[in-house]
Structure 1
Amino acid sequence: MKTRRYVFLVSGGGGNLRVLAQLLALGLLEGELVGVLADRACPALSWAQQKGIFAQQISYRQSQAEDLRWHLAQLQADLIITNIHKIIDAQTLAQFAQAHWVNLHYSLLPAFAGLIGLAPLKAAKKQNLPFFGASAHLVEAQVDAGPILAQGIFATDWEKKSEKAHIEQTFRAGALALWAALAQLEGQNLMEAAEDVYWENGQSIRLHPAPKIPEQLRQEAFWQSI
Structure 2
Amino acid sequence: MKRIAILLSGRGSNFKAIYEAINSGFIKDAEISVVISDKKEAKGLEFARDNGLNAIFVNPKDFGDRKGYDLELVKILKNANVDIICLAGFMRIISEEFVNAFENKIINIHPSLLPSFPGLNAQKQALEYGVKFTGCTVHFVDAKVDNGPIILQAVVEVKQDDTVETLSDRILKYEHKIYPMAVKLLVEDKIKVEGRKVIIFD
TM-score by length of 2: 0.84
- Partner residue in 2 for 1:181: 182
- Partner residue in 2 for 1:91: 97
- Name the stretch that deviates more: 178-187 or 11-20: 178-187
| Deviation digits for residues 6-61 of structure 1 (CA, Å, limit 9, x no counterpart) | 10000011100111110001111120011110011211111111111110111345
- Name the stretch that deviates more: 134-143 or 163-172: 163-172
- Please give the alpha-carbon distance, in whole angstroms, between the structure 2 residues aligned to 1:170 and 1:188: 27
- Partner residue in 1 for 2:20: 22
Deviation at 1:188, TM superposition (A): 7.6
Which amino acid is the alignment partner of residue 31 of structure 2? E
Which sections of structure 2, spanning at least 5 residues, go unmatched? 192-198
Which amino acid is the alignment partner of residue 125 of structure 2? A
- Partner residue in 2 for 1:38: 37
Which amino acid is the alignment partner of residue 59 of structure 1? N
Which amino acid is the alignment partner of residue 66 of structure 2? Q
The alignment status of 1:123 with 2:125, answered yes or no, reads yes
The alignment status of 1:71 with 2:76, answered yes or no, reads yes
1:49/1:55 contact within 8 Å kept = yes
- Please give the alpha-carbon distance, in whole angstroms, between the structure 2 residues aligned to 1:66 and 1:184: 28
- Please give the alpha-carbon distance, in whole angstroms, between the structure 1 residues aligned to 2:22 and 2:97: 30
- Partner residue in 2 for 1:49: 49
Deviation at 1:120, TM superposition (A): 0.5
Deviation at 1:125, TM superposition (A): 1.0
Q: 1:81 to 1:189 in 2, by over 3 A?
A: closer
Q: 1:162 to 1:93 in 2, by over 3 A?
A: closer
2:137/2:153 contact within 8 Å kept = yes
Local SS of the residue matching 1:63? helix
Q: 1:95 to 1:189 in 2, by over 3 A?
A: closer
- Partner residue in 2 for 1:143: 145
Local SS of the residue matching 2:66? coil
2:113/2:135 contact within 8 Å kept = yes
Local SS of the residue matching 1:140? coil
Q: 1:158 to 1:57 in 2, by over 3 A?
A: farther
2:107/2:141 contact within 8 Å kept = yes
- Please give the alpha-carbon distance, in whole angstroms, between the structure 2 residues aligned to 1:188 and 1:75: 20
1:7/1:34 contact within 8 Å kept = yes
Equivalent pairs counted in the alignment come to 185
